[in-house]
Amino acid sequence: MKKSEKETIETGALVGGILGLIINTAEQNREKRLNPNKSFDFQSLVLAGAIGAIIGMASFGLINFFSKVFSSRKEILNEADEISYLGSVLKSYEPDEIDALVLIKGNKIRSALNKRFNSNLLGRASYQGSVEQGTALSGLSDLDILVKFKKTSFYNEREMFKSIHDFFKDEFKDDDLVKVREQKVSIGLTFEIKGCEETIDVVPALRTDFIRGKNDYNLYKNPKLSTGGRKIKMNPHKQREFGNYEEQKKSAVGLIKVLKAKEKLPIKSILIKELTKKAFDRCHIPNGLNARLIMTLQFIRDNIKTIEVKSPDNPRVLLSEAITIKEKDTIHKVLSETLESIHQDKDYILDYFPEKSF
């Protein structure tokens, strides 16, 4: 616990006074050895103690001043508004120069897809996931591009997936493209940008029916990287829904993603989002960003081991089963330690939710 300014100055006076008494006593003893007839001067002793106390007060006051001026953010937080700090954390993860360059690549990819598969598309290739939902964090989130095809565009999902993969492997040209790889439901395009490897995921989706407004699509499940079935249903409209308190939920999701990166939590972003939605639906919603964050973390900690979380666009898919019992135990343990640390000392918010380092 930090000392108040008054306590610091009082400590300085005590230390300075004692040092003044010690020094004066030692000096008088030295003089007495040189002159045995010299009597001990108590008035001088008191004066030395008083002067030492004054010097100590001034010195410790100066130390306290410079400590405030040059202190770390951790020392400042006790006097700062935690909500403002957490807001600054989210702001520090806003798009930077690299993200802008990645977005340029994304626009090039979308244009190429729209041109190559024009008559087979339902709408135009678009961004999805965290970028489209407004929960992307610079340096922590990949760019996802959704390509929606008409039901009659391909014979099946495998043919669709292979066509997109082959297009980027054989036809799409970009000097910065260093890798094209098959993933579970997407094609990963890795670019070298400013000395860093940045990945853009292209997700092809095949319409399931001809019903206007239904918006159901199938993704191809790559058997090389996943088990069970060869396709999975998705609805992009339902995936992006947040319900009530949308902006507050997005802020909580963003901060939990920061904690995920800091503590290497084994949990996917979509599960963070759905758990956050449930926390806001089932709990009393307090005022303030920090209080809502704590509420959400407590809900996840208390329920992660037992809760059943379904995909928002496919009830047959249990997101909560995508993580193992061991991973759930890890999440519970980390969140318990995080909440306990913050409860003991709010300065730990700075440790668990750091601003982006540049």
- Model confidence over 172-183: pLDDT tens digits? 999 999 999 999
Tokens of 153: 């565009």
Separation CA 311–CA 270 (nearest Å): 9
Q: Which residues of 243-255 are buried (b: 16+ CB within 10 A; e: fewer)?
A: eebeebbbbbbbb
Separation CA 111–CA 126 (nearest Å): 10
Share of the chain above pLDDT 70, in %: 77
Q: What is the DSSP letter of 121?
A: B
* Cβ contacts of 227 within 8 Å, gap of 6 or more: none
Q: What is the mean pLDDT of the chain?
A: 85
What pLDDT band is residue 352 in, cutting at 50, 70 and 90? Answer: very high
Q: Which candidate, 137, 79, 76, 147, places its Cα nearest to that of 111? A: 147
Give me the mean pLDDT over the 191-195 stretch: 93
Separation CA 358–CA 351 (nearest Å): 17
Tokens of 210: 């001809």
Tokens of 31: 């003089």
Q: Could you give the residue ranges of the DSSP H alpha helices within 217-324?
A: 236-239, 246-263, 269-282, 289-303
Hey, which of 65-69, 129-133, 166-170 has the most confident mean pLDDT? 166-170
Site of tokens 């690299």: 98
Give me the mean pLDDT over the 192-215 stretch: 92
Least confident window among 103-107, 187-191, 192-196, 224-228: 224-228
What pLDDT is attached to residue 6? 57
Q: Which candidate, 246, 263, 278, places its Cα nearest to that of 135? A: 246
Amino acid at the residue 309: V
* Cβ contacts of 142 within 8 Å, gap of 6 or more: 129, 199, 200, 201
- Model confidence over 263-295: pLDDT tens digits? 999 999 999 999 999 999 999 999 889 999 999
What pLDDT is attached to residue 225? 83
Separation CA 158–CA 354 (nearest Å): 42
Global pTM? 0.74
Does residue 72 carry a pLDDT above 80?
Answer: no
